Amino acid sequence: MERILVTGASGQLGAVLTKALQLKFGAEHVIASDLQFNKSFKGVFETLDVTNLEALKTIVGTYKVTRIYHLAAILSAKGEATPLKTWEINMSTFFNVLEVSRLLGVERVFFPSSIAVFGPNVSRMNTPQSSNLSPLTVYGVSKVAGENWANYYFNKYDLDVRSIRYPGIIGHQSLPGGGTTDYAVDIYHKAVKGEPFDCFLKASTRLPMIYIDDAVRASMELMEAPSKNLSVRTAYNLAGMSFSPEEIVRSIKKSYPNFEVTYRPDFRQKIADSWPMSIDDSKAREDWGWKPKYDLDTMSQVMIDNLKRYYNSVIA
Ligand code: AKB
């Protein structure tokens, strides 16, 4: 039976992925870890700073971990405030995961890459899997390097590392922190609370996005796929949907016709303008059968229903 370690388990994706892994493999087979314990968490939890190689080694050895989902990272917008620290943290944690996995025989490693690997010199519509990768953010630079190191460990040490270039992830369960795509989560909270929203991107800025259930399912499906089917050992392009702020506002207005939005682009506009508008994920579809389930309107309905329930329970 698998024993699965999740780093960054209290983060936006980590919290939801950990629950899905607990459901599939049994709560006792999933070890959630993060810098701090989240009081509402149920299951096996280890406080872990992944920059600490020895601490990671101890946990992997003690639990005889067979798979690692390494989600701990600093994202695109936050990373720009401290570029060298972002590089240091994103890379040292990944090196620690790669080395411990190689030395202690972890069977599979999942490493999240991102649409942030792309830069302004790619075709921004339906961006191909094999594109020139010249990112503008240090987060993107660390993801490009991470993809290449994943490929290196696979070829040199036969370490089974798998990766996805996530679009912006949207979910109701937890808040993202420090990304350029975060507006698309915050906007639902404001709409449901009946408050106006101030958007930090221009109304027409189209970006690839994905609903969190699709993102979690993609990560788990990639990790279950037979190794022989995988032709990409850097990271797979993955698409869910693509939309701009004005399109998400139109979708939200179907439920909240009086929702008010103003646009005040800040430094994140330049980052968003350097990213694709849509993604060609045909390799993921061919190699491991990827198919998203949610489009903008189905996602809006689920987000609004769940956030309504959440805010009603907070008030009650
Ligand atoms: C970000 O905006 O930094 C992330 C990402 C696209 O990787 N959501």
Overall pTM > 0.85? yes
Measured distance CA(287)–CA(293) in Å, rounded: 18
pLDDT in tens, 153-208: 999 999 999 999 999 999 999 887 899 999 999 999 999 999 999 999 999 999 99
Pocket of ligand 1 contains residue 170 by CB under 6 Å: no
Kindly report the protein residue whose alpha carbon is nearest to atom 8 of ligand 1. 168
Q: Which atom of ligand 1 lies nearest, measured to the CA of 77?
A: 3
Pocket of ligand 1 contains residue 276 by CB under 6 Å: no
pLDDT in tens, 77-136: 999 999 999 999 999 999 999 999 999 999 999 999 999 999 999 999 999 999 999 999
What was the pLDDT predicted at 174? 84
What was the pLDDT predicted at 175? 83
Q: Which atom of ligand 1 lies nearest, measured to the CA of 143?
A: 7
Catalytic residue among 139, 153, 166, 294: 139
What was the pLDDT predicted at 39? 86
Pocket of ligand 1 contains residue 86 by CB under 6 Å: no
Q: 24 CA to middle of ligand 1, Å?
A: 27
% of the chain beyond a pLDDT of 70 = 100
Domains of the chain, earliest start first? 4-169+212-237 (3.40.50.720), 171-207+240-277+293-315 (3.90.25)
Kindly report the protein residue whose alpha carbon is nearest to atom 4 of ligand 1. 179
Q: Which atom of ligand 1 lies nearest, measured to the CA of 181?
A: 2
Give the residue carrying structure tokens 């990373």.
79
What was the pLDDT predicted at 315? 75
Pocket of ligand 1 contains residue 116 by CB under 6 Å: yes
pLDDT in tens, 123-143: 999 999 999 999 999 999 999
Active site residue 311: no
